[in-house]
């Protein structure tokens, strides 16, 4: 659970990022989904963001006030030993892993966002600062 609640931003700013009881079940589901992704990739994943308390979420630039991170239902990650962020997205899309949103995040750094929020739509989006959100897996 530590890798889903650890935050350099929270530490630097003295923000308490401890999830409440209501978020723990969501974080357990998220951890189970991430274990499925790890098994699929066959390599370790580097989690850059998981649970965000409301105060931490406000401190993250460009973060949505309705972010699934604040409910313990989303994580951002890479897996450099597996391959590019795009290749990770392709592998997850081709698998049977259930998710609500999979976002190919492209900015100065790239990462995968996976959300398991209540609907499990298997919605795939691509994002960049210039183009924002675009449906599908697209290099922006």
> Residue 30: pLDDT above 90?
yes
Prediction pTM value: 0.92
* 90 burial via Cβ count (<10 Å: 0-12, 13-18, 19+): middle
- Model confidence over 60-77: pLDDT tens digits? 887 888 889 999 999 999
> Structure tokens of 20?
């409440």
| Structural domain count, the chain | 1
Say if 77 falls within a structural domain. yes
CATH number, domain of 12, equals 3.30.1380.10
Q: Confirm whether 63 is domain-assigned.
A: yes
Is residue 140 in some structural domain? Answer: no
pLDDT reported for residue 115: 98
Range of the domain at 15: 2-135
């Amino acid at each position: 659970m530590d890798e889903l609640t650890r935050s350099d931003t929270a530490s630097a700013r003295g923000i308490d990022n401890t999830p409440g009881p209501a978020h723990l079940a969501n974080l357990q589901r998220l951890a189970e989904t991430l274990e499925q992704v790890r098994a699929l990739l066959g390599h370790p994943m580097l989690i850059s963001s998981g649970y965000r308390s409301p105060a931490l979420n406000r401190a993250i630039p460009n973060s949505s006030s309705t972010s699934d991170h604040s409910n313990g239902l989303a994580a951002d990650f890479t897996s450099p030993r597996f391959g590019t962020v795009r290749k990770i997205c392709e592998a997850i899309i081709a698998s049977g892993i259930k998710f609500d949103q999979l976002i190919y995040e492209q900015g100065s750094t790239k990462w995968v966002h996976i959300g398991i929020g209540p609907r499990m739509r298997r919605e795939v989006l691509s994002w960049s600062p210039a183009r924002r959100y675009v449906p599908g897996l697209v290099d922006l």
